[in-house]
Amino acid sequence: MTADKYVLVTGGAGYIGSHTVLELINAGYKVVVVDNLCNSSEEAIRRVGELTNSTIPFFPIDLRDQAGLEKVFSAYPIESVIHFAGLKAVGESTKIPLEYYDSNVSGTIVLLKTMAKHKTPIFVFSSSATVYGDATRFENMIPIPEECPTGPTSPYGHTKMIIEEILTDAAAADANLKVGILRYFNPIGAHPSGRIGEDPRGIPNNLLPFVAQVAVGRREKLQVFGNDYKDSPDGTPIRDYIHVVDLAKGHLAALAKLDSVQGENGEGFVRPWNLGTGNGSTVFEVVHAFEKATGKTIPLEVVGRRKGDVVNLTAKPNRANTELQWKAELTVEDSCRDLWKWTTNNPWGYGQPEK
Protein backbone atom coordinates (compact mmCIF):
# COMPACT_ATOMS: atom_id res chain seq x y z
CA MET A 1 0.00 0.00 0.00
CA THR A 2 1.46 3.32 -1.09
CA ALA A 3 1.82 5.80 1.79
CA ASP A 4 -0.36 8.56 0.31
CA LYS A 5 -3.06 6.24 -1.02
CA TYR A 6 -6.43 5.47 0.52
CA VAL A 7 -8.64 2.44 1.07
CA LEU A 8 -12.28 3.15 0.21
CA VAL A 9 -14.63 1.18 2.47
CA THR A 10 -18.19 1.00 1.16
CA GLY A 11 -20.74 0.25 3.85
CA GLY A 12 -18.09 1.31 6.36
CA ALA A 13 -20.63 2.49 8.93
CA GLY A 14 -22.18 -0.98 9.11
CA TYR A 15 -21.41 -3.84 11.45
CA ILE A 16 -18.48 -5.55 9.72
CA GLY A 17 -17.46 -2.39 7.89
CA SER A 18 -16.96 -0.31 11.04
CA HIS A 19 -14.85 -3.02 12.69
CA THR A 20 -12.74 -3.29 9.54
CA VAL A 21 -12.25 0.48 9.36
CA LEU A 22 -10.96 0.37 12.94
CA GLU A 23 -8.49 -2.44 12.15
CA LEU A 24 -7.33 -0.67 8.97
CA ILE A 25 -6.57 2.59 10.77
CA ASN A 26 -4.82 0.77 13.61
CA ALA A 27 -2.65 -0.94 10.98
CA GLY A 28 -1.65 2.40 9.44
CA TYR A 29 -4.00 2.57 6.45
CA LYS A 30 -5.70 5.79 5.36
CA VAL A 31 -9.43 5.22 5.01
CA VAL A 32 -12.39 6.96 3.40
CA VAL A 33 -15.92 5.67 4.00
CA VAL A 34 -19.10 5.78 1.94
CA ASP A 35 -22.40 4.47 3.32
CA ASN A 36 -26.01 5.35 2.52
CA LEU A 37 -26.97 4.65 6.18
CA CYS A 38 -29.99 2.54 5.22
CA ASN A 39 -29.08 -0.02 7.87
CA SER A 40 -26.28 1.68 9.77
CA SER A 41 -25.37 4.77 11.78
CA GLU A 42 -22.85 7.55 11.28
CA GLU A 43 -22.30 7.32 15.05
CA ALA A 44 -20.33 4.11 14.40
CA ILE A 45 -17.79 6.07 12.34
CA ARG A 46 -17.61 8.80 14.97
CA ARG A 47 -16.80 6.21 17.64
CA VAL A 48 -14.21 4.47 15.46
CA GLY A 49 -12.62 7.89 15.08
CA GLU A 50 -12.48 8.26 18.86
CA LEU A 51 -11.08 4.75 19.36
CA THR A 52 -8.35 5.41 16.79
CA ASN A 53 -7.82 9.10 17.59
CA SER A 54 -8.45 9.97 13.95
CA THR A 55 -10.82 11.90 11.71
CA ILE A 56 -12.37 9.60 9.10
CA PRO A 57 -13.60 11.13 5.82
CA PHE A 58 -17.24 10.04 5.47
CA PHE A 59 -19.72 10.46 2.60
CA PRO A 60 -23.40 9.49 3.06
CA ILE A 61 -23.99 8.39 -0.53
CA ASP A 62 -25.57 5.42 -2.27
CA LEU A 63 -23.28 3.52 -4.65
CA ARG A 64 -25.89 3.88 -7.40
CA ASP A 65 -25.25 7.64 -7.25
CA GLN A 66 -22.53 7.70 -9.90
CA ALA A 67 -21.94 11.46 -9.64
CA GLY A 68 -21.60 11.29 -5.87
CA LEU A 69 -19.17 8.38 -6.09
CA GLU A 70 -17.17 10.17 -8.77
CA LYS A 71 -16.62 13.11 -6.40
CA VAL A 72 -15.12 10.77 -3.77
CA PHE A 73 -12.73 9.16 -6.26
CA SER A 74 -11.74 12.59 -7.58
CA ALA A 75 -11.05 13.93 -4.07
CA TYR A 76 -8.96 11.01 -2.75
CA PRO A 77 -6.20 8.88 -4.32
CA ILE A 78 -7.92 5.52 -3.82
CA GLU A 79 -5.70 2.48 -4.37
CA SER A 80 -8.02 -0.21 -3.04
CA VAL A 81 -11.69 -0.79 -2.27
CA ILE A 82 -13.29 -3.02 0.35
CA HIS A 83 -16.91 -3.43 -0.71
CA PHE A 84 -19.39 -4.18 2.10
CA ALA A 85 -22.34 -2.02 1.01
CA GLY A 86 -25.53 -3.90 0.21
CA LEU A 87 -28.73 -5.35 1.53
CA LYS A 88 -28.05 -8.53 3.46
CA ALA A 89 -31.02 -10.44 4.90
CA VAL A 90 -31.93 -13.85 3.45
CA GLY A 91 -35.56 -13.74 4.58
CA GLU A 92 -36.16 -10.16 3.49
CA SER A 93 -34.63 -10.85 0.08
CA THR A 94 -37.37 -13.40 -0.67
CA LYS A 95 -39.98 -10.67 -0.11
CA ILE A 96 -38.32 -7.77 -1.99
CA PRO A 97 -35.96 -9.46 -4.48
CA LEU A 98 -35.90 -6.59 -6.97
CA GLU A 99 -34.65 -4.21 -4.28
CA TYR A 100 -31.82 -6.65 -3.56
CA TYR A 101 -30.80 -6.98 -7.21
CA ASP A 102 -30.95 -3.21 -7.72
CA SER A 103 -29.01 -2.28 -4.59
CA ASN A 104 -26.42 -5.04 -4.58
CA VAL A 105 -25.75 -5.71 -8.26
CA SER A 106 -26.37 -2.26 -9.74
CA GLY A 107 -24.38 -0.58 -6.95
CA THR A 108 -21.41 -2.86 -7.55
CA ILE A 109 -21.41 -2.19 -11.30
CA VAL A 110 -21.34 1.58 -10.74
CA LEU A 111 -18.50 1.10 -8.24
CA LEU A 112 -16.45 -1.05 -10.65
CA LYS A 113 -16.93 1.39 -13.52
CA THR A 114 -15.76 4.25 -11.32
CA MET A 115 -12.75 2.21 -10.16
CA ALA A 116 -11.83 1.44 -13.78
CA LYS A 117 -12.03 5.11 -14.73
CA HIS A 118 -9.66 6.05 -11.90
CA LYS A 119 -7.42 2.99 -12.38
CA THR A 120 -7.99 1.66 -8.84
CA PRO A 121 -6.50 -1.86 -9.00
CA ILE A 122 -7.46 -3.71 -5.79
CA PHE A 123 -10.97 -4.88 -4.87
CA VAL A 124 -11.97 -6.94 -1.83
CA PHE A 125 -15.56 -8.15 -2.00
CA SER A 126 -17.76 -8.98 0.97
CA SER A 127 -19.39 -12.16 -0.33
CA SER A 128 -21.15 -14.85 1.66
CA ALA A 129 -21.27 -18.56 2.31
CA THR A 130 -24.85 -18.40 1.05
CA VAL A 131 -23.42 -18.70 -2.48
CA TYR A 132 -22.90 -22.40 -1.76
CA GLY A 133 -26.57 -23.02 -1.00
CA ASP A 134 -27.25 -26.38 0.62
CA ALA A 135 -23.82 -28.03 0.47
CA THR A 136 -25.21 -31.17 2.09
CA ARG A 137 -26.60 -32.03 -1.36
CA PHE A 138 -23.06 -33.20 -2.17
CA GLU A 139 -21.01 -35.93 -0.52
CA ASN A 140 -17.92 -34.85 1.42
CA MET A 141 -18.60 -31.10 1.13
CA ILE A 142 -19.05 -30.34 4.85
CA PRO A 143 -17.01 -28.44 5.97
CA ILE A 144 -17.40 -26.42 2.78
CA PRO A 145 -14.31 -25.82 0.59
CA GLU A 146 -14.10 -23.07 -2.03
CA GLU A 147 -14.30 -25.79 -4.69
CA CYS A 148 -17.86 -26.66 -3.61
CA PRO A 149 -20.27 -26.02 -6.49
CA THR A 150 -22.35 -22.91 -5.90
CA GLY A 151 -26.14 -22.93 -5.78
CA PRO A 152 -27.67 -20.12 -3.71
CA THR A 153 -31.20 -20.65 -2.41
CA SER A 154 -32.29 -17.03 -1.88
CA PRO A 155 -32.28 -13.78 -3.86
CA TYR A 156 -29.66 -12.43 -1.43
CA GLY A 157 -27.39 -15.37 -2.21
CA HIS A 158 -28.06 -14.94 -5.93
CA THR A 159 -26.93 -11.29 -5.79
CA LYS A 160 -23.65 -12.32 -4.17
CA MET A 161 -23.12 -15.04 -6.78
CA ILE A 162 -23.88 -12.68 -9.67
CA ILE A 163 -21.40 -10.13 -8.29
CA GLU A 164 -18.73 -12.84 -7.99
CA GLU A 165 -19.33 -13.70 -11.66
CA ILE A 166 -19.17 -10.02 -12.65
CA LEU A 167 -15.86 -9.68 -10.79
CA THR A 168 -14.46 -12.77 -12.51
CA ASP A 169 -15.40 -11.37 -15.92
CA ALA A 170 -14.06 -7.91 -15.06
CA ALA A 171 -10.70 -9.35 -13.95
CA ALA A 172 -10.46 -11.42 -17.13
CA ALA A 173 -10.84 -8.23 -19.15
CA ASP A 174 -8.50 -6.02 -17.08
CA ALA A 175 -4.93 -7.14 -16.44
CA ASN A 176 -4.52 -4.56 -13.67
CA LEU A 177 -7.56 -5.61 -11.61
CA LYS A 178 -6.87 -7.78 -8.54
CA VAL A 179 -9.92 -9.17 -6.74
CA GLY A 180 -10.29 -11.01 -3.46
CA ILE A 181 -13.69 -12.62 -2.85
CA LEU A 182 -14.26 -13.23 0.86
CA ARG A 183 -17.03 -15.72 1.56
CA TYR A 184 -18.08 -15.05 5.13
CA PHE A 185 -19.78 -17.52 7.29
CA ASN A 186 -21.66 -16.08 10.34
CA PRO A 187 -20.13 -12.96 11.91
CA ILE A 188 -20.96 -12.42 15.58
CA GLY A 189 -19.68 -10.50 18.60
CA ALA A 190 -18.49 -6.92 18.92
CA HIS A 191 -15.33 -4.94 19.52
CA PRO A 192 -14.01 -5.71 23.03
CA SER A 193 -14.20 -2.00 23.92
CA GLY A 194 -17.99 -2.30 23.88
CA ARG A 195 -18.18 0.91 21.84
CA ILE A 196 -19.05 -0.49 18.40
CA GLY A 197 -21.17 -3.49 17.51
CA GLU A 198 -24.12 -4.72 15.49
CA ASP A 199 -27.11 -2.37 15.52
CA PRO A 200 -29.70 -3.61 13.03
CA ARG A 201 -32.66 -1.40 12.15
CA GLY A 202 -35.98 -2.92 13.17
CA ILE A 203 -36.22 -6.61 14.02
CA PRO A 204 -32.78 -8.31 13.81
CA ASN A 205 -32.43 -10.93 11.09
CA ASN A 206 -29.43 -12.62 12.71
CA LEU A 207 -29.42 -14.91 15.72
CA LEU A 208 -27.20 -13.25 18.31
CA PRO A 209 -28.42 -9.64 17.94
CA PHE A 210 -31.94 -10.96 18.49
CA VAL A 211 -30.81 -13.01 21.50
CA ALA A 212 -29.13 -9.91 22.96
CA GLN A 213 -32.29 -7.84 22.50
CA VAL A 214 -34.28 -10.52 24.32
CA ALA A 215 -31.72 -10.45 27.15
CA VAL A 216 -32.12 -6.67 27.67
CA GLY A 217 -35.91 -6.78 27.38
CA ARG A 218 -36.33 -5.28 23.91
CA ARG A 219 -37.85 -8.54 22.60
CA GLU A 220 -40.10 -11.00 24.37
CA LYS A 221 -38.55 -14.26 23.17
CA LEU A 222 -36.36 -15.85 20.53
CA GLN A 223 -37.94 -17.68 17.63
CA VAL A 224 -35.91 -20.68 16.47
CA PHE A 225 -36.65 -21.45 12.82
CA GLY A 226 -36.91 -25.22 12.82
CA ASN A 227 -35.62 -28.00 15.10
CA ASP A 228 -36.28 -30.86 12.70
CA TYR A 229 -33.09 -30.82 10.62
CA LYS A 230 -32.00 -34.45 10.44
CA ASP A 231 -28.25 -33.89 10.11
CA SER A 232 -27.99 -31.71 13.23
CA PRO A 233 -27.21 -32.98 16.74
CA ASP A 234 -30.17 -31.10 18.22
CA GLY A 235 -32.27 -30.51 15.10
CA THR A 236 -31.42 -26.81 14.73
CA PRO A 237 -29.38 -25.30 11.89
CA ILE A 238 -25.57 -25.44 12.12
CA ARG A 239 -23.51 -22.36 11.31
CA ASP A 240 -19.84 -21.39 11.50
CA TYR A 241 -19.87 -18.39 13.84
CA ILE A 242 -16.83 -16.11 13.50
CA HIS A 243 -15.93 -13.19 15.76
CA VAL A 244 -16.27 -9.92 13.86
CA VAL A 245 -12.76 -8.81 14.90
CA ASP A 246 -11.26 -11.97 13.38
CA LEU A 247 -13.32 -11.34 10.25
CA ALA A 248 -12.16 -7.72 10.03
CA LYS A 249 -8.54 -8.82 10.23
CA GLY A 250 -9.20 -11.20 7.34
CA HIS A 251 -9.81 -8.16 5.12
CA LEU A 252 -6.40 -6.73 5.98
CA ALA A 253 -4.84 -10.10 5.15
CA ALA A 254 -6.63 -10.08 1.78
CA LEU A 255 -5.42 -6.53 1.02
CA ALA A 256 -1.84 -7.53 1.79
CA LYS A 257 -2.14 -10.60 -0.43
CA LEU A 258 -3.62 -8.67 -3.36
CA ASP A 259 -0.91 -6.05 -3.04
CA SER A 260 1.70 -8.78 -3.61
CA VAL A 261 0.19 -10.71 -6.54
CA GLN A 262 -0.15 -10.17 -10.29
CA GLY A 263 -2.48 -11.57 -12.90
CA GLU A 264 -1.28 -13.88 -15.66
CA ASN A 265 -1.75 -14.27 -19.41
CA GLY A 266 -3.02 -10.72 -19.83
CA GLU A 267 -5.76 -11.16 -17.27
CA GLY A 268 -6.22 -9.78 -13.78
CA PHE A 269 -6.25 -11.80 -10.55
CA VAL A 270 -9.35 -13.16 -8.82
CA ARG A 271 -9.51 -15.65 -5.96
CA PRO A 272 -12.20 -16.67 -3.45
CA TRP A 273 -11.37 -17.35 0.19
CA ASN A 274 -13.63 -18.72 2.92
CA LEU A 275 -13.47 -16.78 6.19
CA GLY A 276 -14.70 -18.99 9.00
CA THR A 277 -13.44 -21.00 11.95
CA GLY A 278 -14.02 -24.48 10.58
CA ASN A 279 -16.20 -25.30 13.59
CA GLY A 280 -19.99 -25.48 13.37
CA SER A 281 -22.39 -24.68 16.20
CA THR A 282 -26.14 -25.26 16.37
CA VAL A 283 -28.60 -22.51 17.26
CA PHE A 284 -29.21 -24.09 20.66
CA GLU A 285 -25.46 -24.36 21.35
CA VAL A 286 -25.02 -20.64 20.65
CA VAL A 287 -27.98 -19.70 22.82
CA HIS A 288 -26.53 -21.76 25.68
CA ALA A 289 -23.11 -20.12 25.20
CA PHE A 290 -24.77 -16.70 25.45
CA GLU A 291 -26.66 -17.75 28.57
CA LYS A 292 -23.40 -18.96 30.13
CA ALA A 293 -21.55 -15.74 29.25
CA THR A 294 -24.28 -13.47 30.60
CA GLY A 295 -26.05 -15.41 33.35
CA LYS A 296 -29.34 -14.71 31.55
CA THR A 297 -31.99 -17.23 30.55
CA ILE A 298 -33.30 -16.70 27.02
CA PRO A 299 -36.99 -17.61 26.54
CA LEU A 300 -37.56 -19.17 23.13
CA GLU A 301 -40.10 -20.94 20.96
CA VAL A 302 -39.50 -23.21 17.99
CA VAL A 303 -41.38 -22.22 14.83
CA GLY A 304 -41.31 -23.47 11.24
CA ARG A 305 -38.23 -23.39 9.04
CA ARG A 306 -37.39 -20.09 7.36
CA LYS A 307 -37.61 -20.01 3.57
CA GLY A 308 -34.14 -20.19 2.02
CA ASP A 309 -32.38 -21.61 5.09
CA VAL A 310 -30.12 -24.67 4.84
CA VAL A 311 -29.04 -27.12 7.53
CA ASN A 312 -25.26 -26.68 7.64
CA LEU A 313 -22.92 -23.86 6.63
CA THR A 314 -19.53 -24.67 8.15
CA ALA A 315 -16.36 -23.39 6.52
CA LYS A 316 -13.26 -25.19 5.43
CA PRO A 317 -10.89 -22.21 5.91
CA ASN A 318 -7.62 -23.94 4.96
CA ARG A 319 -7.06 -21.85 1.82
CA ALA A 320 -7.27 -18.57 3.76
CA ASN A 321 -5.14 -20.02 6.57
CA THR A 322 -2.40 -20.87 4.07
CA GLU A 323 -2.59 -18.21 1.37
CA LEU A 324 -3.57 -15.21 3.50
CA GLN A 325 -1.65 -16.28 6.62
CA TRP A 326 -4.90 -15.64 8.51
CA LYS A 327 -6.69 -17.72 11.11
CA ALA A 328 -9.69 -17.12 13.36
CA GLU A 329 -8.46 -16.92 16.96
CA LEU A 330 -11.56 -16.05 19.00
CA THR A 331 -14.32 -18.40 20.20
CA VAL A 332 -18.12 -18.30 20.32
CA GLU A 333 -17.76 -17.67 24.06
CA ASP A 334 -15.49 -14.67 23.37
CA SER A 335 -18.09 -13.39 20.92
CA CYS A 336 -20.92 -13.73 23.44
CA ARG A 337 -18.90 -11.91 26.10
CA ASP A 338 -18.04 -9.02 23.77
CA LEU A 339 -21.58 -8.84 22.41
CA TRP A 340 -22.94 -8.61 25.95
CA LYS A 341 -20.57 -5.75 26.80
CA TRP A 342 -21.70 -3.89 23.68
CA THR A 343 -25.38 -4.59 24.44
CA THR A 344 -25.25 -3.57 28.12
CA ASN A 345 -23.37 -0.36 27.22
CA ASN A 346 -25.72 0.33 24.30
CA PRO A 347 -29.07 -1.44 24.94
CA TRP A 348 -30.67 0.62 22.14
CA GLY A 349 -27.66 0.49 19.84
CA TYR A 350 -26.35 3.76 18.51
CA GLY A 351 -29.74 5.44 18.97
CA GLN A 352 -29.14 6.58 22.56
CA PRO A 353 -26.09 7.76 24.58
CA GLU A 354 -23.76 5.07 25.89
CA LYS A 355 -24.07 3.91 29.48
DSSP secondary structure letters along 279-327: --EEHHHHHHHHHHHH-----EEEEPPPTT--SEE-B--HHHHHHS---
In whole angstroms, give the CA distance from residue 109 to residue 189.
31
Give the lowest-confidence range in 154-158, 263-267, 304-308: 304-308
pLDDT at position 205? 82
Average pLDDT, the chain: 95
Give 189-217 pLDDT, tens digit per residue.
999 999 999 998 888 888 999 999 999 99
Give the pLDDT mean for 271-293. Answer: 97
Quickly list H helices, 14-154: 15-26, 42-52, 66-75, 90-95, 97-100, 107-117
Q: What is the pLDDT of residue 45?
A: 98
3-state DSSP percent of the chain in helix, strand and coil, to 5: 40, 15, 40
- 2 confidence band (pLDDT: 50, 70, 90): low
Do residues 235 and 311 make contact, with C-beta atoms less than 8 angstroms apart?
no
Are 245 and 23 in contact by the 8 Å Cβ rule? The answer is: yes
Confidence of residue 1 (pLDDT cuts 50, 70, 90): low
- For residues 216 and 325, give the distance between their C-alpha atoms in angstroms, rounded to a whole number: 38
pLDDT tens digits, 208-252: 999 999 999 999 999 999 999 998 999 999 999 999 999 999 999
Residues involved in catalysis: 156
Kindly report whether the peptide bond that precedes residue 143 is cis, defined as omega within 30 degrees of 0.
Answer: yes
CB 135 within 8 A of CB 313: yes
pLDDT band of residue 3 (cuts 50, 70, 90) is: low
| pLDDT at 269 > cutoff 80 | yes
Model confidence at 304, pLDDT cuts 50, 70, 90, reads: very high
Residue 306 pLDDT grade (very low, low, confident, very high; cuts 50, 70, 90): confident
pLDDT > 90: what percent of the chain?
90
The region, left, alpha or beta by phi > 0 then psi within -120 to 50, assigned to residue 242 is beta
- pLDDT at 200 (0 to 100): 84
Residue 285 pLDDT class (50, 70, 90 cuts): very high
Evaluate whether 163 touches 252 at the Cβ level (below 8 Å).
no
The SS3 call for residue 204 is coil
Which of the four pLDDT bands, split at 50, 70 and 90, describes residue 354?
A: confident
Percent of the chain scoring above 70 in pLDDT: 99
Contact status, residue 241 vs residue 184, Cβ threshold 8 Å: no
Q: What is the pLDDT of residue 351?
A: 86
Residue 355 pLDDT: 72
Helix (H) or strand (E) holding 244: helix 244-260
Q: What is the pLDDT of residue 91?
A: 85
Interval 299-316 mean pLDDT: 90
Give Cα separations from 36 to 12, 78, 311, 314 (angstroms).
10, 19, 33, 31
Does residue 310 register a pLDDT over 90? Answer: no
pLDDT (average), residues 149-160: 96
pLDDT tens digits, 40-96: 999 999 999 999 999 999 999 999 999 999 999 999 999 999 999 999 988 899 999
Average pLDDT on 152-163 reads 96
Say what the pLDDT of residue 202 is: 84
Collect all residues with Cβ–Cβ distance below 8 Å to 193 and sequence separation of at least 6: 51
Residue 307 has a pLDDT of 78
DSSP state of 76: S
- Per-residue pLDDT at 333 exceeds 80: yes
pLDDT band at 352 (very low <50, low <70, confident <90, very high): confident
